[in-house]
Amino acid sequence: MKKKKNSKNSMTSTKQEKEVTFSPTLKIREYPIIMGDNPAANGCPITLGWKVLAENNRNFELYEYARENLRVHGKKKLFMSIPRRSQLLLDAGYTQDQIVKRALEMAELQHLRHLSIQDGKGGGGVFAKQFLKGFNLMTLGVVGTTPPPVAAAPRRAAPPRKSLTARSA
């Protein structure tokens, strides 16, 4: 922190200027594309593996200049289409059956997640609402604040659950 004298001969602090710099050399690492497990993706999800396949060094300024017109702008352009994602997995050595099977698994997980948040009927919705309600009442270690008072509500007995039985045809 820099200090300077003001007109009253006392020392005052000035903010230190921050600076960001980059290396003149850019290191590019290539990783394998593997089948992912993120149910938020449409179709079969992909992810990057851990093993480095190749590593290249490039001049930072030259690299940025060369790809100036290749940049994508806008959120929608960052999403990959299902056919493009599937083709990347086929090129990586996965079979069509493996890709379709994973896509169906992810679709089922999406469906179950949707059911769990619908009107709080799936259990997850009620849990999430109660958790967030209680979480918002916490101070999270902030010193000098007291949480707002919580009114105790009487508990009601839960209605009896309907049992599911297998039907014979």
Contact call for residues 32 and 48 (beta carbons, < 8 A): yes
Q: Who contacts 35 (Cβ-Cβ below 8 Å, separation ≥6)?
A: 44, 45, 46, 47, 89, 94, 98, 99, 102
pLDDT in tens, 17-72: 889 888 899 999 999 999 999 988 888 999 999 999 999 999 999 998 998 888 88
pTM of the complete model: 0.55
Q: Which residue has the higher pLDDT, 129 or 10?
A: 129
| Stretch (H or E) spanning 114 | helix 96-117
Domain assignments of the chain as residue spans, ordered by start: 22-106
Q: Who contacts 41 (Cβ-Cβ below 8 Å, separation ≥6)?
A: 85, 106
Interatomic CA distance for residues 100 and 105, integer angstroms: 9
Interatomic CA distance for residues 57 and 26, integer angstroms: 6
Mean pLDDT, the chain, rounded, equals 76
